[in-house]
Amino acid sequence: MTLRLGTRGSALAMAQSRTVADALTAATGRPVELVEIVTAGDRSSEPIPRLGVGVFVSALRDALHAKEIDFAVHSYKDLPSAPADGLTIAAVPPREDPRDALISRDGRTLAELGPGTRVGTGAARRIAQLNGLGRGLECLPVRGNIDTRLRKLADGEYDALVLATAGLRRIGRQDEITEVLDPMLMLPAPAQGALAIECRTDAVLPGGAPIVELLSTLDDEHTRAAVTAERALLATLEAGCSAPVAAFAVVAEAEDGEYEIYLRGGVFSQDGIQAVRLSATGTLTDAAAVGRRLAADLLAEGADIALGVPA
């Protein structure tokens, strides 16, 4: 049986999906074909915050429910934090570099960008943190796939772009990065750089074996724990994937030989004036609790005010 993998048609989505398909075939011997699904986000040029949470996801999930595809690959940061009825995240493969990257036309680093520099980014989280630097940067919205954005940069519409390092690496354009931004300066989005492999909870192979078990061969325990903590923070704050909320978890070996999660989180006002940054630690089995606890700490320190949530 050839498995049908649903994917968006962008170069990045196709590259991500092909990597997953090849890995699954190598691990299980099952052939996989890619099925292109057009989403509302692909059809619109509106800014992502205006389009809403899950704009790149709903069409893929509809295709899963309709049994047009057997599983789908998402950029995990695009998924709404609430679970989807009848669907499950069967695997979270090893994460690509989660950091943000700066690409400037003249090779200047972030510290070298002066007032009035036109920086293209559509992410509220990035805009807030760039504004918070107090450098007088002009943050401008930018849409389109990575190639389109880089072409706009080359044509002079922008002086610099901030993009995800993971996406640039996955399509082979990492050599164009001017500077990979330290998370201490620019905290990534929750689940940035991670992929989510999703299928129907009740989907089975011929013979009755659950598809989720087949897909789980690609799961990476440490990546899943890190992303679980980051997304639990996001869900507890009740902020969508386009809100100015950042989270970055690292899994490292502790002195006792066990692994632990170190989670950093940040909440920002759009103008960058208000920023709340805190951290928390915990065990892998407690990943979601670590995220919820850090979110509670952020709220106690005024995160709701930064987000503009009414009291």
HSE (side-chain half, CA atoms, 13 Å) at 255: 0
Q: What is residue 143's predicted lDDT score, i.e. its pLDDT?
A: 83
Domain 3-93+194-219 superfamily per CATH: Periplasmic binding protein-like II (3.40.190.10)
Q: What is residue 270's predicted lDDT score, i.e. its pLDDT?
A: 85
**Identical fold at 3-93+194-219 and 225-307?**
no
**SS3 assignment, position 206:** coil
Hey, where are the domains in the chain?
3-93+194-219, 100-180, 225-307
Question: From the candidates 22, 42, 62, 78, which is the catalytic residue?
Answer: 78
Torsion angle of the four alpha carbons 133, 138, 144, 145, in this order, in degrees rounded to the nearest 10: -40
Number of Cβ within a 10 Å radius of residue 21: 20
Second-level CATH architecture of 225-307 = 2-Layer Sandwich (3.30)
For each of the chain's 311 residues, which pLDDT tens digit applies? 899 999 999 999 999 999 999 999 999 999 999 999 986 544 444 444 444 445 679 999 999 999 999 999 999 999 998 889 999 999 999 999 999 999 999 999 999 999 999 999 989 999 999 999 999 999 999 988 999 999 999 999 999 999 999 999 999 999 999 999 999 999 999 999 999 999 999 999 988 999 999 999 999 999 999 999 999 999 999 865 567 999 999 999 887 888 999 999 999 998 888 999 999 999 999 999 999 999 999 999 988 877 775 44
| Partners of 266 in the β-ladder | 246, 277
pTM of the predicted structure, to 2 decimals:
0.90
Q: Classify residue 172 by burial, with Cβ atoms within 10 Å: 0-12, 13-18, 19+.
A: exposed
78 is catalytic: yes
Strands of the chain, DSSP E: 3-7, 32-36, 71-75, 87-91, 100-104, 118-120, 138-140, 160-164, 179-180, 195-200, 245-253, 259-268, 275-283
- CATH fit for domain 100-180, picks 3.40.50.2300, 3.40.190.10, 3.40.50.970, 1.10.569.10: 3.40.190.10
What the block records as the tokens of 249 is 């978890």
Q: Classify residue 278 by burial, with Cβ atoms within 10 Å: 0-12, 13-18, 19+.
A: middle
